[in-house]
Amino acid sequence: MAEPRVTLDVGNDGVAVITICNPPVNALAIPNLIVLLRALRVLLIAVIAGLKEKFNEATRRQDVKAIVLTGKGRRFSGGFDITVFQKVHETGDVSLMPDVSVDLVVNMIEDCKKPVVAAVEGLALGGGLELTMGCHARIAAPKTQLGLPELTLGVIPGFGGTQRLPRLVGLSKAVEMMLSSKPIMSEEGRKLGLIDAIVTSEELLKVSRQWALDIAARRKPWMRSLHRTDKLGSLSEAREILKTAKQQAKKTAPNMPQHLVCLDVIEEGVIHGGYNGVLKEAKAFKDLVLSDTAKGLVHVFFAQRTTSKVPNVTDVGLKPRAVKKAAVIGGGLMGSGIATALILSNIYVVLKEVNPEYLLKGIKTIEANIRGLVSRGKLTQDKANKALSMLKGVLDYSEFKDVDIVIEAVIESIPLKQTIFSEIEKACPHHCILATNTSTIDLNIVGEKTNSQDRIIGAHFFSPAHVMPLLEIVRTEKTSAQAILDLMTVGRSIKKVPVVVGNCTGFAVNRAFFPYTQGSHLLANLGVDIFRIDRVISSFGLPMGPFQLQDLAGYGVATAVGKEFAKAFPDRTIRSPLVDLLLKSGRNGKNNGKGYYIYEKGSKPKPDPSVLPIIEESRRLSNIMPGGKPISISDKEIVEMILFPVVNESCRVLEEGIVVRASDLDVASVLGMSFPSYRGGILFWADTCGPNHVYTSLKKWSQIHGNFYKPSRFLEERAMKGIPLQSALNFEMLDHLSAMFTSLAPHGVQLIFLFP
């Protein structure tokens, strides 16, 4: 028999303790369906139903004087069950959302005839925090996380949070908490008035019970948050705060409707009262659940967690080994960034360089990285000192005898890397993982001169390595599952999201995105203004356009990487004279302050008009403008002509098994290339455009502009069969399923595919 998801225990003191039991995070609902047939729709929202049932019972029972609401397993609740959003997205049926805000939080909890106290520990996020705000008091254990992160899922708080949080902590703080989605700790919550008392974990239930009895006996106030106005300030102050917040939101989150909707809903409550605010919130919440933004963000939420599941690695009973000491070879930009990330997570690091001068430079860069975090308030001075005490600079291998992992981060030279790997094979213990941070060189070549192919692995960080969240873990056919698992564990412990990928030129992210720069150069040579291209791509949601990105990376990188890709994929590489011309004219991007843009200290990059004659020259040399005239193109076409080739290459990456699943590439594109998360990642976005539209567009352009746009076989097949690129099903299975459901259709059975 299934365990009850909500329990009720009445003590001798007359207090009913209602406990949410839904590990691991006590999410507030459990749909128990994998495939839904519309005719047989059954959805069990067990926690919500359980809460309603237990609150009914506690209210009815004569022996109950007061109620305490808590969560099992030292985590109050991680909020509403996000898998229900997934079901809504798959079915388009918003009626799957249970009615909670008024039914449960207002009617059963806040307006309950008996006092209700929340006993909160670990975390109370989203709907979890909203339940507590419906209670008449909140007692918390120390260091409990309290937050409303709904905007990161493309929705707004939907159980009254937009109304009660401003009434408990004041409008400014509430707006900040909701728009940033960042949780606060219970200690801050106590100062703000969100929490009534902080007590130890051991005393939490005892104090909460007594608090509830004290309210019942009128020894403590019986507060209904929704009825309060004392912290809202005057109407004119509130209007000013909301106006400023709206202006900010338009600038910082232009493509995310949930920010402005959230502020409108808050405003409704301030002007027309909390209950009206709750009603408007419920409606807006349901509208937003169905938005493309919510679909993309919810997809990324689960996709990110799925990256931790790697077939034949994480499901074969292996245990990760401890990594306490690491060695980083090379103190350049990447090496020092990697070392920074490691020491920040308490991993002891020896940094090796070839001479004292380079070593000192590397250590200084690490110190500057750490200082930067302190000055931005992201790290305390104590933690900074602790991190720096974990670092030792060395010039030889004598410290390598007890390291658990080596990460090599020297320049991209095959002979140098081969020599280093032969040396570290001898200097390190047998269990040590031998990792390289190469972004282009085949791992089999790097390890060719060793007998340790099973522990050779790629640890591909993205620059700046101590900031960017993605870690591509590159495996060859010979890399052992244990080495992969160990590196995944190191990655998570240094707060990266590890994505396991296969070995090929550029691995997953750089390979998928190599057509990004190429496509933008093609458009430039076809006569499209480069600054317009950058503006359009930024409006689409990338942090900067392709030309500004190239300025940032430096043209030397572009040339070196371009050569590798031209060698690996000659059939689909475009040759543009533009970068050579820029280099010849003494430009090297942001590095030397001369690029497509002008870089002045303290101000934003400005388009540099003196680059235009160089672009004209590139157009003249490439000579691809039809009839010698610039093409006419819409903003939408600019996005598509630059990003559809990326989708096309992503399809090849997927088909070749370089990534385990399509959603891994979505996560990698978001975390490694800053592709907008609200578009769900590169392949998810392509599915929203429609594989057939992507295919027919590429085909049309390939007839005009050549092979660069030629659709891949994988894309063609998916487009022809109308199958999403995200779908993990193979073509044979789909043929079989489609035949099966064609035979069922006359009987009125409609399949809702749940593409994993």
Ligand X SMILES: C[C@H](O)CC(=O)SCCNC(=O)CCNC(=O)[C@H](O)C(C)(C)COP(=O)(O)OP(=O)(O)OC[C@H]1O[C@@H](n2cnc3c(N)ncnc32)[C@H](O)[C@@H]1OP(=O)(O)O
Task: State the catalytic residue, choosing from 121, 150, 267, 425.
Answer: 150
CA-based radius of gyration for the chain? 29
Q: Which stretch binds ligand X (CB under 6 A): 41-49, 72-80, 616-624, 661-669?
A: 72-80
Is 157 an interacting residue with respect to ligand X (CB under 6 A)? yes
Q: Which of 25, 216, 351, 406 binds ligand X (CB under 6 A)?
A: 25
Residue placing its CB nearer to ligand X in the complex, 489 or 591: 489
> Least distance from C-beta 295 to ligand X, angstroms?
14
Is 78 an interacting residue with respect to ligand X (CB under 6 A)? yes
Tokens of 292: 């493309």
Residue placing its CB nearer to ligand X in the complex, 73 or 273: 73
Residue placing its CB nearer to ligand X in the complex, 79 or 134: 79
Interatomic CA distance for residues 696 and 693, integer angstroms: 5
Q: Which of 58, 70, 81, 441 binds ligand X (CB under 6 A)?
A: 81
- Cβ neighbours, 10 Å, residue 234: 8
Is 493 an interacting residue with respect to ligand X (CB under 6 A)? no
Is 127 an interacting residue with respect to ligand X (CB under 6 A)? yes
Is 80 an interacting residue with respect to ligand X (CB under 6 A)? yes
> Least distance from C-beta 661 to ligand X, angstroms?
14
Q: Which stretch binds ligand X (CB under 6 A): 158-166, 381-389, 479-487, 505-513?
A: 158-166
Q: Which residue is nearest to ligand X (CB)?
A: 126
Is 150 an interacting residue with respect to ligand X (CB under 6 A)? yes
Least Cα distance to 268 among 128, 103, 156 occurs for 156
Is 425 an interacting residue with respect to ligand X (CB under 6 A)? no
Is 125 an interacting residue with respect to ligand X (CB under 6 A)? yes
Per-residue HEC secondary structure of 709-748 comes to HCCCHHHHHHHHHCCCCCCCCCHHHHHHHHHHHHHHHHHC
Task: State the catalytic residue, choosing from 121, 130, 281, 408.
Answer: 130
Residue placing its CB nearer to ligand X in the complex, 45 or 561: 45
| Binding footprint of ligand X, residue count (CB under 6 A) | 22
Residue placing its CB nearer to ligand X in the complex, 77 or 479: 77
Hey, CA dihedral for 416, 418, 421, 423, is it positive or negative? negative
Is 170 an interacting residue with respect to ligand X (CB under 6 A)? no
Phi then psi for residue 159, to 5 deg, are -110, 35
Q: Which of 50, 71, 126, 257 binds ligand X (CB under 6 A)?
A: 126
Is 51 an interacting residue with respect to ligand X (CB under 6 A)? no
Q: Which of 137, 153, 350, 647 binds ligand X (CB under 6 A)?
A: 153
Interatomic CA distance for residues 5 and 12, integer angstroms: 23
Is 79 an interacting residue with respect to ligand X (CB under 6 A)? yes
DSSP 70-129: EEGGG--B--S-HHHHHHHHHH--GGGS---IIIIIIIIIIT-SS-EEEEE-SEEETHHH
Residue placing its CB nearer to ligand X in the complex, 25 or 195: 25
User: 656 and 720 in contact (C-beta within 8 Å)?
Assistant: no
Residue placing its CB nearer to ligand X in the complex, 262 or 582: 262
Residues 290-349 that bind ligand X (CB under 6 A): 305
Least Cα distance to 683 among 730, 709, 707, 718 occurs for 718
Is 174 an interacting residue with respect to ligand X (CB under 6 A)? no
Residue placing its CB nearer to ligand X in the complex, 55 or 80: 80
Residue placing its CB nearer to ligand X in the complex, 161 or 506: 161
User: 446 and 460 in contact (C-beta within 8 Å)?
Assistant: no
Residues across the chain: 756
Interatomic CA distance for residues 447 and 478, integer angstroms: 11
Residue 690 Ramachandran class (φ > 0 left, ψ -120 to 50 alpha, else beta): left
Is 76 an interacting residue with respect to ligand X (CB under 6 A)? no
Tokens of 228: 């309060």
User: 234 and 123 in contact (C-beta within 8 Å)?
Assistant: no
x/- letters, 632..651, toward ligand X (CB under 6 A): --------------------
3-state helix, strand, coil in the chain (%, to 5): 55, 10, 35
Q: Which stretch binds ligand X (CB under 6 A): 152-160, 382-390, 509-517, 689-697?
A: 152-160
Tokens 């020491």 correspond to what residue?
343
Q: Which stretch binds ligand X (CB under 6 A): 145-153, 491-499, 564-572, 635-643?
A: 145-153
Is 281 an interacting residue with respect to ligand X (CB under 6 A)? no
Residue placing its CB nearer to ligand X in the complex, 147 or 545: 147
Q: Which stretch binds ligand X (CB under 6 A): 78-86, 133-141, 232-240, 745-753?
A: 78-86
Is 498 an interacting residue with respect to ligand X (CB under 6 A)? no
Tokens of 82: 């996000």
Q: Which stretch binds ligand X (CB under 6 A): 22-30, 275-283, 472-480, 737-745?
A: 22-30
Is 158 an interacting residue with respect to ligand X (CB under 6 A)? yes
Least Cα distance to 534 among 592, 485, 595, 482 occurs for 595
User: 349 and 390 in contact (C-beta within 8 Å)?
Assistant: yes
448 among known catalytic residues:
no
Tokens of 418: 């081969």
Is 98 an interacting residue with respect to ligand X (CB under 6 A)? no
Q: Which stretch binds ligand X (CB under 6 A): 155-163, 345-353, 380-388, 669-677?
A: 155-163
Residue placing its CB nearer to ligand X in the complex, 88 or 119: 88
Residue 416 Ramachandran class (φ > 0 left, ψ -120 to 50 alpha, else beta): alpha
> Least distance from C-beta 153 to ligand X, angstroms?
6
150 among known catalytic residues:
yes
Our CA dihedral for 122, 125, 129, 131, rounded to 10 degrees, sits at: -100
> Least distance from C-beta 303 to ligand X, angstroms?
10
Residue type, 132: T
User: 380 and 302 in contact (C-beta within 8 Å)?
Assistant: no
Least Cα distance to 596 among 193, 588, 687, 84 occurs for 588
Is 34 an interacting residue with respect to ligand X (CB under 6 A)? no
> Least distance from C-beta 45 to ligand X, angstroms?
12
Is 122 an interacting residue with respect to ligand X (CB under 6 A)? no
Q: Which stretch binds ligand X (CB under 6 A): 149-157, 312-320, 575-583, 687-695?
A: 149-157
3-class state of residue 348 by DSSP: strand
Residue placing its CB nearer to ligand X in the complex, 137 or 303: 303
Per-residue HEC secondary structure of 484-512 comes to HHHHHHHHHHCCCEEEEEECCCCCCHHHH
Residues noted as catalytic: 130, 150
- Positions touching ligand X (CB under 6 A) are 24-25, 27, 78-83, 123, 125-127, 130, 149-150, 153, 157-159, 161, 305
